[in-house]
């Protein structure tokens, strides 16, 4: 290799490697979503997650309770769909930014939950644009211990 090409290669190789590494980090996270075939707001939440860059695998089931039970989500903290990502459970209308933060911080927990179906949460938008305040909870254990992870609205 001529000296000029070798020098150019040595100068650009680290930049090329950094770009490739950046692409690997930007690869979409796989998100498995369990929902019933009858729920329309779940589709709205899935749309939010897809737009945020998550690769969604939607699985329709008749009963979510066995899935929630298997992953440690108590009934009183449940919502209308359950998702799995990166070793965590995501229950209900959790904003995509909260899921990104969860995956980045990697707390010792079962996952995140937004119990119920708060108006204004992702997938639960109101035609009037109204929202109600709600919290994303970090689910610490299967006994239902939580702490506030983020506040919204």
Domains and CATH numbers, the chain: 29-152 (3.40.30)
Phi then psi for residue 62, to 5 deg, are -75, -30
Model confidence over 62-113: pLDDT tens digits? Answer: 999 999 999 999 999 999 999 999 999 999 999 999 999 999 999 999 999 9
CA distance linking residue 139 with residue 121, whole number of Å:
18
Place of tokens 């211990």: 145
| CA 21 to mean position of chain CA atoms | 22
CA distance linking residue 24 with residue 28, whole number of Å:
9
Question: For residue 137, with 0-12 CB atoms within 10 Å meaning exposed, 13-18 middle and 19 or more buried, which class applies?
Answer: buried
- DSSP, res 123: T
Residue 26 has pLDDT above 60, yes or no: no
Q: What is the pLDDT of residue 27?
A: 61
Pairing state between β 146-152 and 134-139:
antiparallel
């Amino acid at each position: 290799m001529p000296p000029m090409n070798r020098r150019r290669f040595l100068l650009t190789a680290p930049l090329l490697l950094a770009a490739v590494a950046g692409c690997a980090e930007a690869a979409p996270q796989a998100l498995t979503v369990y929902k019933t075939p009858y729920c329309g707001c779940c589709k709205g939440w899935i749309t939010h997650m897809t737009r945020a860059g998550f690769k969604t695998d939607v699985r329709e089931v008749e009963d979510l309770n066995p899935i929630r039970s298997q992953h440690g989500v108590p009934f009183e903290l449940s919502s209308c769909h359950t998702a799995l990502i990166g070793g965590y459970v995501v229950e209900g209308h959790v904003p995509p930014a909260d899921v990104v933060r969860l995956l980045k911080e990697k707390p010792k927990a079962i996952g995140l939950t937004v119990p119920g179906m708060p108006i204004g949460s992702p997938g639960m938008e109101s035609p009037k644009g109204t929202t109600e305040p709600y919290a994303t909870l970090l689910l610490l254990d299967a006994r239902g211990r939580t702490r506030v992870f983020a506040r919204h609205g």
